[in-house]
Amino acid sequence: MTAGCDSYAWSELFDQIFSATPWPMLMLGEDGTVLGASDEGHKWLRPCNSWGDTPLRERAAHYVSVLRGSTSWLTPQEAESVRTLPSGASAHERIHVRRTAWGACLTIVDQTDVRRLQTMDIQSARLAALGFMVAGVCHEVTNPLTSLHSIVQILQSEKHVDKELLDKGLSNIAINVKRLLDVSRRLVKFSRVDDEPRVRFAVDDAIEEALSVLHQSGSLREVELSHKLDPTATVFGNTGQICEIFLNLFVNAVQAMGGKGRLNIATRSAGQMLEVLVSDTGPGVRADAIVRIFEPFFTTKAGTHGTGLGLAISTEIAHEHGGTLELRQTSPHGASFCVTLPKERL
């Protein structure tokens, strides 16, 4: 599909050269007017084509909005587009704009099937990861269930349960049930690859969203916060999941500091990758825990405060996005975790 060309001669030439190509090709003027179309391209102009999609003429405005810059046709670039089809399904397309001597060439590559296969791959990888976790899951679930069983037995064996014993038993039951629910909710959430489309977004927006959850819960009331932004830091992926990585890291940092201290977040570019460094002024990771913190179900938090799934799930999400999560540094003065994610190509 070409743009930036307005002469009749060009459109005739286009018809002669491209009319018989097997691909849908269109030549557009700068205002989006269709100047020429290949035979396949003509199908795309009809109000209802064989793909059940909206005609290309109406889609031109959407593609322009996805592109960057006021003269987006004139800037060589690549972008991702996610459109909702009349059927309600999502169409994922990759858009390439190339400058030519006579205008600009806009190529739209339909990647809907590729994305669907990627989602299926991620789903299989997650189920495999859960498979590896099964032994841990059984262990995690068995402990609270054993506690529940013995509490119920004690209460049943007493003829007259006094108030103190009853209160103790009930609070023990509540703790164990909460733990079971926490583990099961996190695993159910992790096992599902939700169909939130992968999009291009500023990584700092995901950080701010995670921070707003903590602000709302009041956890940052006594935390001094510093967030060094990098507005050029864009990634391609699932916003909700990337936000979950940051939420896990921030919750861990705040809990490590006992709700009081300094939380530093810095986004910066590192070659092809983006780095987000999350540092706190807590007591650092316990020396005997350093090698185990990324293991599913490993937690040093007492009671119902930890499931030991935060870092394991966050690592899995980072890997799915082509990135990493690591402990960069730890000392008695604090811990720093680093998330790397591939930069979205401009």
Query: Where do runs of H (alpha helix) occur along 158-307?
Result: 163-191, 203-217, 239-256
Q: Which residue is nearest to ligand ADP (CB)?
A: 310
Please identify which residue in 282, 316, 338, 341 interacts with ligand ADP, judged by CB under 6 A: 282
Q: Which of 179, 200 has the CB closer to ligand ADP? A: 179
Phi and psi torsions of 293, nearest 5°: -65, -25
Site for ligand ADP in 287-316 (CB under 6 A): 289, 293, 298-301, 306-312
Shortest gap between Cβ of 206 and ligand ADP (angstroms)?
18
Q: Which of 66, 175 has the CB closer to ligand ADP? A: 175
CA-based torsion, 249, 253, 256, 260: positive or negative: negative
77 binds ligand ADP (CB under 6 A): no
Other beta carbons within 10 Å of 94 = 14
47, amino acid identity: P
Q: Would residue 323 be called left, alpha or beta, if left means φ above 0 and alpha means ψ between -120 and 50 degrees? A: beta
Q: Which two tokens stand for residue 218?
A: 């009041």
How far apart are the C-alpha atoms of 325 and 339, rounded to whole Å? 5
Shortest gap between Cβ of 124 and ligand ADP (angstroms)?
23
Exposure string over 101-119, b if 16+ CB within 10 A, otherwise e: eebbbbebeebeeebeeeb
Strand ranges for 177-222 from DSSP E: 199-202
How far apart are the C-alpha atoms of 69 and 82, rounded to whole Å? 19
254 binds ligand ADP (CB under 6 A): no
DSSP three-state, residue 130: helix
Q: Which stretch binds ligand ADP (CB under 6 A): 35-43, 139-147, 191-199, 279-287?
A: 279-287
**Size, binding site for ligand ADP by CB under 6 A:** 23
Q: Which of 72, 248 has the CB closer to ligand ADP? A: 248
Shortest gap between Cβ of 323 and ligand ADP (angstroms)?
17
Phi and psi torsions of 264, nearest 5°: -105, 130
Binding mask 187-226 for ligand ADP (x = CB under 6 A): ----------------------------------------
256 binds ligand ADP (CB under 6 A): yes
Please identify which residue in 203, 206, 211, 285 interacts with ligand ADP, judged by CB under 6 A: 285
Q: Which of 115, 179 has the CB closer to ligand ADP? A: 179
Catalog residues that contact ligand ADP under the rule CB under 6 A. 248, 252-253, 256, 280, 282, 284-286, 289, 293, 298-301, 306-312, 335
